[in-house]
Amino acid sequence: MLSIGIDIGGMSIKIGLVDENGKIVDIAREKIADSFEKVLAGIEKQIDFLLSKNNITIDKVKGIGIGCPGMLSKDGIVEVFPNLGWKNAPLVPLLKDRYKTEVRISNDANVATLAEAYYGVAKDYNDVVMFTLGTGVGGGVVIDKKLFEGGDKKGTELGHTTLILGGVPCKCGRRGCLESYVSATALIRQTKAAMNKDPKSKMWDFVGGDIEKVDGRTAFECSKTGDKTAIKVINKFVAYLSDGIMNMLNIFRPQAFIIGGGISGQGDYLIDKVKKYCKKYHYGYENAPKAEIFAAKLGNDAGIIGAAALLNQ
Ligand SMILES: [Zn+2]
């Protein structure tokens, strides 16, 4: 049976028909409009288009799943979506009303975790934890193939756990959060600081002398060519990330841990270093259960696939 998966982002919305193996059968896109009402109308237009194009009616799909950033209520109301200025947008109730079908919603990091746990690198594991490393650090927890969303289904905030007491200020108001050390934003900050201390670093050539061109790839790529300063940045970044991962392994004892987001594009180059670091510390103590560590593999499709997977819950 097909499901409808909707991935709402800051710039665009992707709507897909997903089969029971997590394969996207058809996809439609809609630009973000300037009001919730217009976005909802756009979503409905694309759902209707996909259904009619594929010759199916809504009663023949399992339901509609939605991945959406921001603060969500357990009744499917988007309480706050800062980038789009939504406040108390009744997304799920209105779609339920219109389509008379099951409608589920969860935040983008949860949905990405669910996608990998059902159809991606961790499909053979029941207990899975994931970090998505982007502008911030999102996190998802799947226990016994079920998403753990915490009180009022507000989701978990794995990125806002303290890594360094009294460390770098975080936008949540605390200091030293994991997010302030292992997000792409943090890596860029660490890379720039190291470059400013070493005018001879190859990283300057890599960005054509313009420090504003530094991104999440700069230190990684230059470390591969042997630049000592870049290697130091990456080693430190890996240490922060691995310690953050070990904290999660000690709490949840998952069978699989996934690293997602743009930085996970470094694949084995990153994963091998993280594994080596974690192995050294025996995940807490010798004989502690070991988790497999993976880079996410579903990439941009994870939003749609994971949204559809909400209906497996
Ligand atoms: Zn924080």
Residues 100 and 127 in one domain: no
Residues 196 and 68 in one domain: no
CA of 168 to the centre of ligand 1 (A): 10
Q: Alpha-carbon distance 140 to 302, whole Å?
A: 13
Residues 65 and 172 in one domain: no
Residue 157 lies in a domain: yes
Domain endpoint, select from 49, 82, 107: 107
Residues 131 and 280 in one domain: yes
Q: Alpha-carbon distance 32 to 9, whole Å?
A: 8
CA of 136 to the centre of ligand 1 (A): 9
Alpha carbon dihedral 175, 246, 156, 61, in 10-degree steps, equals 150
Residue 20 lies in a domain: yes
CA of 172 to the centre of ligand 1 (A): 4
DSSP 88: E
Evaluated on CA atoms 159, 164, 165, 166, the torsion sign reads: negative
pTM as predicted: 0.93
Residue 304 lies in a domain: no
Number of structural domains (the chain) is 2
- Read off the pLDDT of residues 241-268 as tens digits, 9 standing for 90 and up: 999 999 999 899 999 999 999 999 999 9
Residue 205 lies in a domain: yes
Residue 241 lies in a domain: yes
**DSSP secondary structure letters along 285-304:** STTPPP-EEEE---GGGHHH
Residues 99 and 131 in one domain: no
Residue 168 lies in a domain: yes
- pLDDT band, very low/low/confident/very high, at 233 (cuts 50, 70, 90): very high
CATH number of 90's domain: 3.30.420.40
Say what the pLDDT of residue 313 is.
82
CA of 178 to the centre of ligand 1 (A): 7
Please determine, for residue 80, whether its predicted confidence score (pLDDT) is greater than 80. yes
Evaluated on CA atoms 13, 17, 23, 29, the torsion sign reads: negative
Range of the domain at 253: 123-297
Residues 243 and 280 in one domain: yes
CA of 54 to the centre of ligand 1 (A): 44
Say what the pLDDT of residue 43 is.
97
CA of 176 to the centre of ligand 1 (A): 7
Please state whether beta strands 128-133 and 103-106 pair in parallel, antiparallel, or not at all (unpaired): unpaired
Q: For residue 178, count other CB atoms closer than 10 A to its CB.
A: 30
Q: Is the separation of the CB atoms in 79 and 96 below 8 Å? A: no
Please determine, for residue 285, whether its predicted confidence score (pLDDT) is greater than 70. no
Q: For residue 225, count other CB atoms closer than 10 A to its CB.
A: 12
Residues 23 and 129 in one domain: no
Residues 101 and 177 in one domain: no
Residue 307 lies in a domain: no
Domain endpoint, select from 45, 76, 107: 107
Please give the C-alpha separations between residue 155 and each of 71, 117, 129, 139, 193, in angstroms, as whole numbers: 9, 16, 13, 9, 33
Residues 47 and 180 in one domain: no
Residue 306 lies in a domain: no
Domain endpoint, select from 82, 107, 132: 107
CA of 173 to the centre of ligand 1 (A): 6
- pLDDT band, very low/low/confident/very high, at 209 (cuts 50, 70, 90): very high
What integer is the mean pLDDT of 41-57? 97
Please determine, for residue 308, whether its predicted confidence score (pLDDT) is greater than 70. yes
Residues 51 and 187 in one domain: no
Say what the pLDDT of residue 213 is.
97
Residues 167 and 229 in one domain: yes
What integer is the mean pLDDT of 87-103? 96
- pLDDT band, very low/low/confident/very high, at 130 (cuts 50, 70, 90): very high
Please give the C-alpha separations between residue 56 and each of 45, 49, 98, 214, 290, in angstroms, as whole numbers: 15, 10, 16, 48, 45
Residues 246 and 292 in one domain: yes
CA of 294 to the centre of ligand 1 (A): 25
CA of 296 to the centre of ligand 1 (A): 23
Say what the pLDDT of residue 282 is.
63
What integer is the mean pLDDT of 72-77? 92
Higher-pLDDT residue of 190, 135: 190
CA of 137 to the centre of ligand 1 (A): 9
